[in-house]
Structure 1
Amino acid sequence: MADSSDVTPVVSGHTPGKEEHGGGEGGGDSERDAGGGGGLTEAQREVLERCLHALRHAKNDSHTLAALLLITRLCPASQLDKPTLRCVFEAVGLNLPARLLVTAVRGGESSGLPPHELLSLGTALLAALSTDPDMASHPHLLSTIPLLLGILANGPVSNQQKQPQDQAEEIPDCKVQSADSSNLESNSAEESKTGKQKSDDSSASNGVSASKETSASSKLDEAMAADCYQVLTAVCALPRGPDQLLSRGAVPALCQAVEQNQTFSCEKGLALLGCLLTGKTKDKAWSKHPVELLTLLVRLSKDFCQSKDQTRLDMCSQLVQFLPPVGVALEGEQLKDVVSRVWGVLRPMVQAKLTAKQIGPILVLSACLLDLYGWELVGPPKVCCLLVNRACVEVRLGLEEPPGDEMSPELQHTLTGCYRIMEAAIEQACSVGLSTTAASPQSSISSLSLQQSRQVLGVLEEAFSAVMYYLQQVNPSRYEDPFVFATFRSLCSWLAEETSCLKEEVTRLLPFLIGYSRRHLQDESPERRLSDWMTEMSVSVERESWTGTEPLRYLLPALCHLSAEEGPRKVLLTLDTPALLVDFLSQTWTSLKGKSGVVSARDPSMETACSALLNFTVTEPERVRKDPCFRTLEALLSETLPVLVHKSHLLVLAANYCTLGLMMGRLKSSESGSVEAGQRRFFSAALRFLRSALDSGSSYAPVKVSHSWEESWDEAAELWRLGLQALGGCVRSQPWVTTLVREEGWLKHILTMLGQCSALPDKHTQEALEEALCAMAEQCPLCKQEIGDMMVRNDKGALNGMRNLKKSVGVK
């Protein structure tokens, strides 16, 4: 049997260049010259045609191998164009190499050939076939992946034979048929003779001795390892390739190969693992194989800490790939120990004098470590300040004076890491007094001195000034650029905390911020680049796919602040921002319900959007009366509030919807006398919702917050009080509401509760209820009479403590 090097020029792990994939120079000529064989002479072409004919009509494995050997001797693969290679591939097929692997792994059936040679030839054939994407995605080839992984993980053929036989039995058409042993054996002598010289050369170049090749396979030889990795890498490059590898056990096998230091495991194995741990398969891999991946991370972190200067710099980027996604639950303190150990090495690197190219990977790794444990493990405050300062400096240099017309991908990656460091600094540096409270654990940045905190805020302000300058220059044609989104998102994190600094610059940038958010919200086309970027950079807390609402979600906290200030609010109105917010609520509500129509988890961004709309409603009543988007909002609220009142986990959203609808209702007047069904439905749901907040309990005891509201009372109490005040305004502007108040039993329920209880939860709650009851007494004689009668019958309850209400109903 010939060594695998006999067929390596055609069937080894050679990765074709762009032209072989039809995308490079000369690709068109190759396609036109379908049988021409690229740079072959006329004589070579003639012989090649005869070999291809023999290959197509081979009756057994011996004929197939003989034809392959003739093609190998005739010309190397580098001289064969894509159509010729495709002819070879189609003639050989995937069944032969698969059967060679099965025969080697099963072992029991005598093929007359050593298992190692069967594996060598099978993997070499698969490697060549995998260079064609269609072949790489074929079920026959995919079914060999567990066997290839077993070779890489376990090395010797003897170990392979100990593996469960179901790996072999997964391969279609190979359950009962192994390689044709007689054909292979009869061809063995000729192959060995013709391939001896080439085998010797290959062994020398690969650093593998002949004794190792023919011995009991104590270590995986380089040619076989390279072929296995070629197949796996080709599969990984397919659209669904990472999922295919993950589902077939690639992660534990490759981790084992690295742990045992198998051939090429550190070069090709880690690179392949890095691909599986980047993008959409990262979460799946860590959830399925946390133990193996954490063990690998511990090893890599130790190598990182023990490495020297340039090697350590090079390893920064590698280590980033193997960190777990944010939020992954790992037992024990191993991960924390890893992060702490890596920070110990990074501190002097952050403080060293480095070029922009050198500091980039350090800052990106620092950003990823901050994502995992925040500032807790970074080091003393001085190091934290220096890290933030270096990130801000890189942002200023990169955005204010970008080299050339286009920013390089490396610089974009560095700046994205810097943004995350800045965002992490904002979360704590903008907190009141930067002091540690019982609710916030001690961390290095939370113990900054006043001078240090001012320095941090100062460099952040300078960096975000550069960010705004950069975004001002962004053309709408670049709105789908992931780096633009990263820059936008970083600015939003700052604006969420700080809108008083650089107010003029922020106001001037509002057209871009709103335009950018509107473009993504209303664009229905799939935005693959942004979706992939968010997955790779782990920027989505929910870790869901891109929907187009993300930009506005990040901007919403800033809009909540800016809509409360007159100058920015006027600009926001000219940009039709209320309509954008209504559109967002409508889309998000549809998504929240899901296909089944069942409302799912809480979405705080909807509550923030309501707060911004509430600011417009309070400060711009004329706009609310005239703008059609507020009619659309009313229709949305009338549809959704009746559903929300029954969802306790969405109580805060219901409070926002109820209050917003009532605040708009107080601005209307019922001149026509007719009431729309939607209006009645909304007010009926609002009254049920408002009455559910308090529970009277036993007679003449203080009123308590009801059980369903108790958990959310801190967030919803102010909205509930504002809603009661707005209800009073609705009664005054739309007298028909008083009829509904009585029909729904709201007034009777409230009066009974106030008559029997001794006190309300707090003064503000009492004032809100009193204002609503006063409005009803003033507008409705029947309501006035009911209130008066209850006050007379219960002169000891909380109702009699409402002095303004007594005056309204004439009770002394």
Structure 2
Amino acid sequence: MSEGSVPDSVRKCIAILKAAESDTEKFAALFMVTKLVKGEDCDTHSKKLLFEAIGFKFLKRLLLSPDVPADCPPLVYKSVALSILSSFCSDAELATHPEMLANIPVFLDIVQQADDDDLDDNLIVVSEAYECLQNIAAHQPGRLALLEVGGVVKMCEIYAQQSFQTDEALNILVTLVGQFGPSAWDTNPKPFHVIVNKIALDFETDHSERKFDLCRMLHALLVSCRRNVIVATANEALWPGSIYKGLSDILTSKLGKAQRDPALKLASIMVELLGVEWCLTDEERPRQFFLLLVQLCSIEVRMQLEDRTLKQIMMNADLMSACFIMLELSIAYIATDTLELEQKEKQQLYTALKGAFSAVVSVLTKVSHDFNKNPNVVDTKEKIFVCAMVRVLSAWLAQETSAMRNSVYTLLPFMLTLANETFYAYRSRRLAEKKQSSDTMETESDVISQVDILRLMLPALCHLAVEEKARKILLEAKEDEVLYECLVYHWSIVHYKKPPVPKSERGKVRKDPELELDPKMLEDMNYSRAAMVSICNIFMNVTVLEAKMVEESMLFATLLKFIFNNLPELKSTPENLVLHGNLAVLGLLLLKQQAKRVKKNDFTICRYIQATIRFLWDAYNVDESTDSSSLVVAISYKKYWLELMELWFLGMQTMSAVLALVPWISEFAIESGWAEGIIDTLHKVRMGSLPANTKSAYEDFLCHLVDANNSVTTVLKEHDALAVCRTHRFMELGKRLFGD
């Protein structure tokens, strides 16, 4: 901008300021500056010239000076300086000026000492200091500067002190945590709990319109928190109870959308952080609030999705995402059967959820049609929202096995396409992180990679793989190939190998490597274990129901080879037991179908069978029973027995079938000592106490073992198998060993 375009009044004022020979003369000129800066003809360039003419050092002297003339109010210098600064701060360039940012601590001190002087005199000063801070916080450099000087903790302290205008501090705090998320907070959870306790108490007790502002503030703070730290310490805080009471007041009242929406968002983040159990804390009517939330979220989903285009729906995407999270977590909790519901309540829940998911399916169907015509019709934000719909629908399909099936079959190819895209993007991002890639540019695939939708679809795919139509769609889409890649990827996480030990450390006593892993890596390992178990279940269903296809499939041959090579390498830890069982039994099912491909000299089969025998052998014993004469599930298996019981019986049954097809595998059962081990154990079990299904599993296996390898007959007889056959009425085994 040329000098000529600066208004005469501004040029005149700049001249006076530059000509001032003392602070007193410059101070007098400030009153003229105040009028100019607030005038319409003073643009950004003019303000910058004025700011530089005044000089921040002079303004800082005014802010910090304790001495004023005898006939002046004590805060006059500070007030004038802040009035000038707040006017300048309205301009982005000046609000982020290095000198302005360098003096943020001065503004913070002013608002922190709000009650040190007379309230009336201090009110204007504090208001203008807040105005400066709010204008600074409106820009990224300003937010960074506030964060660096501990602005988050200071705003927490100011609000907790409850001096006047603390809602301004709260607004600045929300701006900072909204920008920086968990990194805005210190690892010490105390400041977070202090501020949220105070806001939550205000939220509970305030029945004015401010209650809904506080609702939004609480949501922003909870979304930004360091989740692991806060969740671990939340039971010591008061805010979960206060928020429960405050939300109960809102959601049981007749309110409009403007009041209800923030309440649903807050309820959703609370359930996400603290679990559905948080909804059930009312001792008198523990289920009422939970059922109300599910009903309200279901109704909201229908209201927002039915008869609307995706563009229209996106206007309330945040609200819908909150409702989806609430529904997903609620469905998972209901599936645990820990919530005792009356029949009427079950029916009401089912009706509400079915209505919501009918709306989700309808929207996804429309989107899939548009997507098939033109994949670019959906932008990145819309695609992320569509992923959220697929995610919540997958949670429903994992539990509900009959509703809307034909619509789901039609939709399945689109869901798989989207899920596969997110898996490949997620895998690429994680592999790049491992390599510490320097490329930090965020692309669409980076955004899509944040959530692996395929991983979340796996439990639903377990159910769908049982259904003929759905299974046909999966195989036609070659989803089995993607699932194999998914299995291999998650194995790389579960089977984490620590870096080589430096020479200087070798020979020293070292901790279990898993104990040395950070919590995030342990979480990733648990996540990947669960994924592998689900994929194994899908492959088991396909193997059993598409036997002919699996028999000829090179992919399933490769899968079997993967299990042969890797099951023996799986670390023997309690956390890996369920995965061990799934891989072992899937291997047996595949071995049964692919028996003609198996070669006797393949050493990997030997190691695999040994690992599988170990899983089947260790499940039961008598040593851990109370009377030493009952067959009981081993203590190490008991915790996981609900997941392992059917697997164990299927494993025993399939092992018997494999012996008939690949007789030489019987040698491993004999060499391992498993055959006589079964007999020795059953000797100790008292007559009539052996469960019928367990009795049948053991007898069937031993019969097939004898059929496959007659040399085992001698071994069993040496261990007095006759007495076992008599005690437990093993009629078929007795015939094979001792004739009629």
TM range (shorter): 0.7 to 0.9
Show structure 2 runs of 5+ residues with no match: 68-72, 431-446, 500-512, 515-521
Matches for 1:251-330 after TM superposition, within 5 Å: 251-262=152-163, 264-266=165-167, 268-278=168-178, 280-281=181-182, 284=185, 287-302=189-204, 304=206, 306-307=207-208, 316-322=215-221, 327=231, 329-330=233-234
The structural deviation recorded for 1:500 is 0.7
Instruction: Say whether 1:485 aligns with 2:390.
Output: no
**Cα–Cα, structure 1 residues 297 and 223, in superposed 2: closer, same or farther, change >3 Å?**
closer
- Report the AA paired with residue 40 of structure 1: S
2:212 and 2:588 map into 1 onto residues whose CA distance is 60
The structural deviation recorded for 1:81 is 7.5
The structural deviation recorded for 1:124 is 7.0
Instruction: Say whether 1:341 aligns with 2:245.
Output: yes
The answer to whether the 8 Å contact 1:152/1:228 transfers is no
1:48 and 1:657 map into 2 onto residues whose CA distance is 82
1:721 and 1:455 map into 2 onto residues whose CA distance is 37
Matches for 1:582-731 after TM superposition, within 5 Å: 582-594=484-496, 596=498, 600=522, 601-603=525-527, 604-670=530-596, 673-697=599-623, 701-731=629-659
Structure-1 residue corresponding to 2:438: none
Q: Which string of whole-angstrom CA distances, capped at 9 and with x for unpartnered residues, describes residues 359-398 of structure 1?
A: 4334434545555522554969788766655543432232
Structure-1 residue corresponding to 2:709: 780
The structural deviation recorded for 1:560 is 1.5
**Cα–Cα, structure 1 residues 809 and 796, in superposed 2: closer, same or farther, change >3 Å?**
closer
Instruction: Say whether 1:231 aligns with 2:136.
Output: yes
2:569 and 2:448 map into 1 onto residues whose CA distance is 27
Q: Which moved more, 1:725-734 or 1:450-459?
A: 450-459
The answer to whether the 8 Å contact 2:666/2:709 transfers is yes
Q: Which string of whole-angstrom CA distances, capped at 9 and with x for unpartnered residues, describes residues 486-513 of structure 1?
A: 3222222221221211111121111122
- Report the AA paired with residue 615 of structure 2: F
Equivalent in 663, 680, 685 of residue 735 of structure 1:
663
TM-score of the two chains, using structure 2 as the length reference: 0.74
2:237 and 2:580 map into 1 onto residues whose CA distance is 41
- Report the AA paired with residue 422 of structure 2: H
The structural deviation recorded for 1:616 is 1.0
Structure-2 residue corresponding to 1:468: 361
Instruction: Say whether 1:567 aligns with 2:469.
Output: yes
Aligned-partner SS, 2:526: coil
Aligned-partner SS, 2:536: helix
Q: Percent identity?
A: 23
1:59 and 1:765 map into 2 onto residues whose CA distance is 102
**Number of aligned residue pairs:** 671
The structural deviation recorded for 1:467 is 0.8
The answer to whether the 8 Å contact 2:177/2:220 transfers is yes
Instruction: Say whether 1:40 aligns with 2:5.
Output: yes
Equivalent in 316, 322, 335 of residue 411 of structure 1:
316
TM-score of the two chains, using structure 1 as the length reference: 0.68
Matches for 1:122-521 after TM superposition, within 5 Å: 148-155=107-114, 212=121, 220-234=125-139, 241=144, 248-262=149-163, 264-266=165-167, 268-278=168-178, 280-281=181-182, 284=185, 287-302=189-204, 304=206, 306-307=207-208, 316-322=215-221, 327=231, 329-331=233-235, 334-349=238-253, 351=254, 354=256, 356=257, 359-368=260-269, 372=274, 373-377=278-282, 388-402=294-308, 406-407=311-312, 409-423=314-328, 426=331, 439-440=338-339, 446-448=340-342, 450-474=343-367, 475=371, 476-477=375-376, 478=378, 480=380, 481=382, 482-521=384-423
The answer to whether the 8 Å contact 1:127/1:230 transfers is no
Show structure 1 runs of 5+ residues with no match: 1-34, 108-112, 160-207, 433-438, 441-445, 529-544
Q: Which string of whole-angstrom CA distances, capped at 9 and with x for unpartnered residues, describes residues 532-578 of structure 1?
A: xxxxxxxxxxxxx9855631233222211111122222222222232
- Report the AA paired with residue 709 of structure 2: C
The answer to whether the 8 Å contact 2:302/2:359 transfers is yes
The structure with higher relative contact order (CA 8 Å, sep 6+) is 1
RMSD: 5.0
The answer to whether the 8 Å contact 2:725/2:733 transfers is no
**Cα–Cα, structure 1 residues 753 and 336, in superposed 2: closer, same or farther, change >3 Å?**
same
**Cα–Cα, structure 1 residues 583 and 280, in superposed 2: closer, same or farther, change >3 Å?**
farther
Q: Give 1 or 2: higher helix fraction.
A: 2
The structural deviation recorded for 1:737 is 2.0
- Report the AA paired with residue 346 of structure 1: I
The answer to whether the 8 Å contact 2:412/2:473 transfers is yes
**Cα–Cα, structure 1 residues 359 and 762, in superposed 2: closer, same or farther, change >3 Å?**
same
Equivalent in 802, 806, 810 of residue 730 of structure 2:
802
**Cα–Cα, structure 1 residues 633 and 102, in superposed 2: closer, same or farther, change >3 Å?**
farther
Q: Which string of whole-angstrom CA distances, capped at 9 and with x for unpartnered residues, describes residues 142-168 of structure 1?
A: 776566444333336799xxxxxxxxx
Aligned-partner SS, 1:697: coil
Q: Which moved more, 1:280-289 or 1:649-658?
A: 280-289
The structural deviation recorded for 1:468 is 0.2
Q: Which string of whole-angstrom CA distances, capped at 9 and with x for unpartnered residues, describes residues 330-379 of structure 1?
A: 34573354134324422442x45x4x555433443454555552255496
The answer to whether the 8 Å contact 2:159/2:170 transfers is yes
Q: Which string of whole-angstrom CA distances, capped at 9 and with x for unpartnered residues, describes residues 420-465 of structure 1?
A: 4544664577787xxxxxx54xxxxx555x4454243223222211
The answer to whether the 8 Å contact 1:219/1:262 transfers is no
